Amino acid sequence: MKSTKKNMNIGAAFFFIFFGLLFFVLIVRFVTIQYTGEAEGRVLSAKAAQIYLRQEKIPSKRGTIFDHNGEAIAEDSASYTLVAILDKDLTIDPKHPRHVADPQMTATKLAAEIDMSEQEIYERLTKEGRKQVEFGAAGKDLSHSVKQKIEDLKLPGISFIKESKRSYPNGIFSSHLIGYAQKDEKTSEIVGITGLENSYNNLLKGKDGSIKYEGDIWNYVLPNSHKNVTEPINGHDIYLTLDKKIQTFLEDSMKKVDEQYEPKRIMAVVADPKTGKILAMAQRPTYHPETRVGIDKSWHNEIIETSYEPGSTMKIFSLAAAIEKKVFNPNDTYPSGRYYVNKRDYIGDHNGGRGWGPITYLEGVQRSSNVAFAYLLEKMGTQAWREYMDRFKFGTPTGIDLPNEVSGKILYDWPIEKVTSVFGQGTTVTAIQMVQAMTAIANDGKMMKPFVVEKIENPNDGTSKETKPEIVGQPISKETAKEVRNILETVLTSEHGTGGRYKIAGYKVAGKTGTAQIPDPKGGYLTGYDDYVFSFLGMAPADDPKLIMYVVIDQPNLKEDENGNLENGSVPVSMIFNPVMKSSLEYLNIQPEEIPDTKIANLPDFSKMKKDDAIEYIKEKSLVPIIIGDGDKIIDQSPNSGASLIEGEKIFIKTDGNLTLPNMTGWSKRDVLYAARLANVNVNIVGDGFASKQNIKPDSPVNEGDHLVVNFETPRQKIDREKSAKNKEDDDKPLD
C-alpha cells in the first residue's frame, strides 16, 4: 500500500515538473515573440498585413489608330464576361444571397439573353466543388446593352468581369495595313498580331497601373486603411495618312470587282504625289479584323511584301530615262513587229509580233510596243537604263513605315534580260515601289518616300511626333517629268492608245496600262487569255497631278459576250480606277476641267471637199479616214453626211480612179460591211469576233462585183492560233 502511494507521488511530481517546464517554455516563447515581433525568422506584422493586403490591376488603355481626319480605325472598347458565384460561404444573410441560390430559375432567365441552352446553363450552375463558373464563348464579349438586360433581372450570384477588347468600327478597312490585335491567353493583355497593330505594338500597348489596400475576405476596404495607387500609362495614339472617304471608295469598288471576276489577287494604292502620303491601300483577298474571317486566304500585305513582274507600266520609267538622255524623238520612226536580240531570241509586239509597220516612237508608246522600247534601250545604252533603275530605286526597299517590306529583284546579266527589263518583264518590283517611282513623274522630278503614319501622340504628356514628307531622289528633271505626263495623256486620248477606257469625264488623266505575263512553274509563261497581271498606273489631273492611283488585278475570270468574245483585262481594272479616282478628286474639291464633247454632229458632205482637205478635217476631229480607191475626187462616203460619231470611229471615203480595199485586220463586222458597200463588192463573212484574214490583198485593184471573203476570229481563237504557230517554230523563242 505504501509502495503504491509512493509511486503515485513520483508520477505526480514528474507531471508537475514536465508541465511546469512546458509552461515556462511557452512564457519564454510568448515574451520573445512579443519583444522581437518575429516568429521563425518572419516578421509577424508583415505577415498579418499580407493576409489583409489586396491588390488590383488598373488596366491601361491601348492606343487608338485614327485616320487622317481623326476618325477611329482601331480602338479599345469595353466588353463583359458573365460569371456565376457558386460559393455559399459568401452569403451572410440568406435573405440577400451573394451566390446562385436558385440554379433553375437563374438558368431559365439567362437562356433568354445568351446563346446557351437552359439545360447547359443549369449544369454549369450545379457543378460540385466549384466556387465560380463562366459560360464559354456565349458569356464572353458581351455588349453593354446585353449586360444591362441581365443586370435588370437582378439574379443573385450573377456578376460581370469588365474587360477591354480591340474594336474595328469600319469592318474590312485596309485590314492588311492596320492588322489586328487580340488578347493573349497567358497575360490577358491585348497584343498586336499583324500589320501596324504588331509593328507599333510597344507604343500602342501602354503599361497597367495598380491599387493596393487592406480588405476583408469579401474584398471590402478595412476601416482606417490606406490606398496606394499607381496610375496606368496609356498607349500612344497613331494618326495615319489614310483618308476614310477615299479608303471607303476603294473598298467598295474592289469588293464589286472581286465578286464579279473572282481574280487571284487585287492590289490598289491611292497616294498624294506631292508628299508621299498613302491615302488608301487595299487588297483582295482580305479579312475582317475582329472575326478574322478570310485571313487564311492571305494574311500578309501583298503591296509591301510581294514582288512581281510589272509589265508595261515599267515603260513609264524607261520612257522617262530615254527623254532625260535626249534619245526620244516622238516623230522618229522604227520598224515595229520584232526586235532580234541575237539570232535566236527576239522581242515581239503584243499582236503576235506582226506589229503595225514603220510607225513613230510616239505611236509606239501609245500602242505599248515592246519593240519601240527595245530600240530606245539601244539608243540610250544598257548601262544608262541600269543607272536609271537605281535612280528610281527599283530593287531597293522604299523604307515605308510598314513591316516585312521586300525589295524585288533586277535581273540584268544576260542581253535578253536587259532588253526585257525595259518593258517590265523578268525584273520584279513591289506595288509600293511603283507608286514611289511615279511620284517623280507627277511631282516634277522629285521622288517622295511613301508613308502611312502621319503622327504619333502621347496622351500621358500631350507630346507628339509628326512625319515630315521626304524627298528620296530626283531621277529626272522637271522638264522631263512634264513631257512624260503629256505623252502618257495621249495613251488615253490617241486613237492608237491602249488606255482609252481610263478616261474620266471632266478630268485629264495620264497613265500607262500593263499586261504582264505570269511565269509558269514548269518553265516559260502561262498562255491562257486571262493568265496575265492586268494593271494601270495613272494620275490626275494630268497637268498638275493631285493623286496617283495604281491598280493591279491578277488572273481575273474575264467574261464572254453572246458572240464568244472575251473582255479585255482593262475592264475590271477600270472598274476600280475610274470611280475611285473620280470620286476622290471630287471629294478633294478638285474642280473638273472644261473638256470638249467628243461627239461630232452634222458630218459634212465630203464630196464637196478636196480629198486632202477631207482627210485633214477627219483627223482634226479625232476620226480615222479610210480611203477606198486611188483617185483624187470623192464620190461617196459612209456614214453619210449629218451623222454623229464618237472620236476614234472610222470614216470611209470612196474616190474615183482604180478601186482598192485597205488592210482590214482587226476590223469589226460593221466596218467591213461599210467598206464592202462603198466598193460595191460581194462580201462573205466567216466566223465571229474581229477580222483576221481577207482573200483580196490590201491596196490591190478590185472590180465592182468581186467576191471579198473575210475571216473573223474571237480573242480566244486568236490566242490558240498564235500559240499553235509558236509551237511549230524550231529555233525562235519569242519573249513577248
- Can you give 453-465 as a three-state secondary structure string? EEEEECCCCCCEE
The rounded distance, in Å, linking the Cα atoms of 152 and 150 is 5
Largest CA distance in the chain: 170
The fraction of the chain above a pLDDT of 90, given in percent, is 50
Whether 249 and 265 share a structural domain? yes
In-domain check, residue 51: no
Angle, helix 382-391 to helix 315-324, in steps of 10 degrees? 110
Contact call for residues 106 and 158 (beta carbons, < 8 A) = yes
Confidence of residue 736 (pLDDT cuts 50, 70, 90): very low
| 226 burial type by CB count under 10 A (0-12 exposed, 13-18 middle, 19+ buried) | exposed
In-domain check, residue 736: no
**Sequence-ordered strand ranges (E) for 278-437:** 278-284, 333-335, 338-340, 345-348, 358-360
Domain boundary among the residues 563, 587, 611 is at 587
Q: Which of 88-92, 150-154, 214-218, 432-436 has the highest mean pLDDT?
A: 432-436
Whether 179 and 229 share a structural domain? yes
Residue 734 has pLDDT above 50, yes or no: no
The whole-number average pLDDT for the span 51-67 is 76
End-to-end CA distance of the chain: 132
Whether 426 and 467 share a structural domain? yes
Which has the minimum average pLDDT: 193-197, 205-209, 216-220? 216-220
Which has the minimum average pLDDT: 172-181, 414-423, 470-479, 629-638? 629-638
Q: Please, which residues have CB within 8 angstroms of residue 524's CB and are 6 or more apart in sequence?
A: none
Which is nearest to 423 in space by CA: 333, 350, 498? 350
Contact call for residues 123 and 147 (beta carbons, < 8 A) = no
Contact call for residues 610 and 633 (beta carbons, < 8 A) = no
Residue 379 has pLDDT above 70, yes or no: yes
In-domain check, residue 545: yes
The whole-number average pLDDT for the span 645-649 is 72
Confidence of residue 527 (pLDDT cuts 50, 70, 90): confident
Whether 433 and 504 share a structural domain? yes
**Residue 118 grid coordinates:** 437552359
The rounded distance, in Å, linking the Cα atoms of 283 and 293 is 15
pLDDT in tens, 701-723: 888 888 888 888 776 666 667 66
Whether 688 and 700 share a structural domain? yes
The rounded distance, in Å, linking the Cα atoms of 77 and 142 is 11
Distance of CA 585 to the CA centre of its chain: 20
In-domain check, residue 400: yes
Residue 53 has pLDDT above 60, yes or no: no
In-domain check, residue 731: no
* Phi, psi of 400, rounded to the nearest 5 degrees: -55, 150
Whether 617 and 685 share a structural domain? yes
Residue 558 has pLDDT above 70, yes or no: yes
The whole-number average pLDDT for the span 576-599 is 83
Better-predicted residue by pLDDT, 635 or 450: 450
Q: What pLDDT, on the 0 to 100 scale, is given for residue 133? A: 86
DSSP codes, 198-221: HHTHHHHH-B-EEEEEEB-TT-PB
Q: What pLDDT, on the 0 to 100 scale, is given for residue 416? A: 92
Which is nearest to 160 in space by CA: 186, 132, 182, 183? 132
State the Rg of the chain over Cα: 40
The rounded distance, in Å, linking the Cα atoms of 515 and 566 is 15
Select which of 174, 312, 570, 574 is catalytic.
312
pLDDT in tens, 349-377: 999 899 999 999 999 999 999 999 999 99
The whole-number average pLDDT for the span 377-387 is 96
The whole-number average pLDDT for the span 511-523 is 89
Q: What pLDDT, on the 0 to 100 scale, is given for residue 610? A: 86
Dihedral sign for Cα atoms in the order 99, 103, 105, 107? positive
Residue 105 has pLDDT above 70, yes or no: yes
Q: What pLDDT, on the 0 to 100 scale, is given for residue 725? A: 64
Whether 285 and 233 share a structural domain? no
Q: How many domains are there within the chain?
A: 4
What is the CATH number for 341? 3.40.710.10
**Sequence-ordered strand ranges (E) for 272-325:** 278-284
pLDDT in tens, 669-711: 778 888 888 888 888 888 877 788 888 888 888 888 888 888 8
Averaged pLDDT of the chain:
86
Q: What pLDDT, on the 0 to 100 scale, is given for residue 25? A: 66
Whether 707 and 646 share a structural domain? yes
Q: What pLDDT, on the 0 to 100 scale, is given for residue 7? A: 62
Domain boundary among the residues 587, 620, 635 is at 587
The three-point CA angle 122-126-128 to 5° equals 155
Place of cell 517629268: 481
**Residue 445 grid coordinates:** 522630278
Range of the domain at 62: 56-240
Q: What pLDDT, on the 0 to 100 scale, is given for residue 420? A: 94
Better-predicted residue by pLDDT, 728 or 69: 69
**Residue 430 grid coordinates:** 513591289
Whether 102 and 164 share a structural domain? yes
**Is 312 among the catalytic positions?**
yes
pTM over 0.75: no
Q: What pLDDT, on the 0 to 100 scale, is given for residue 688? A: 75
The rounded distance, in Å, linking the Cα atoms of 146 and 138 is 12
Whether 572 and 644 share a structural domain? no
In-domain check, residue 662: yes
In-domain check, residue 608: yes
Residue 644 has pLDDT above 90, yes or no: no
Confidence of residue 80 (pLDDT cuts 50, 70, 90): confident
DSSP codes, 120-175: HHHHHHT-TT-SEEE-GGGGSSB-HHHHHHHHHT--TTEEEEEEEEEE-TTSSSSH
Q: What pLDDT, on the 0 to 100 scale, is given for residue 56? A: 66
In-domain check, residue 729: no
The whole-number average pLDDT for the span 305-323 is 97
Residue 269 has pLDDT above 60, yes or no: yes
What are the Cα distances from residue 195, in Å, to 126, 279, 299, 305, 590?
44, 17, 9, 11, 32
The whole-number average pLDDT for the span 288-311 is 93
Which has the minimum average pLDDT: 144-153, 191-200, 713-722? 713-722
Residue 575 has pLDDT above 50, yes or no: yes
Q: Which of 95-99, 214-218, 386-390, 662-666 has the highest mean pLDDT?
A: 386-390
The three-point CA angle 508-512-581 to 5° equals 45
Domain boundary among the residues 206, 240, 274 is at 240
Whether 120 and 186 share a structural domain? yes
What is the CATH number for 661? 3.30.10.20
Q: What pLDDT, on the 0 to 100 scale, is given for residue 44? A: 44
Whether 67 and 196 share a structural domain? yes
Angle, helix 431-442 to helix 315-324, in steps of 10 degrees? 40
What are the Cα distances from residue 621, in Å, to 444, 487, 600?
31, 19, 7
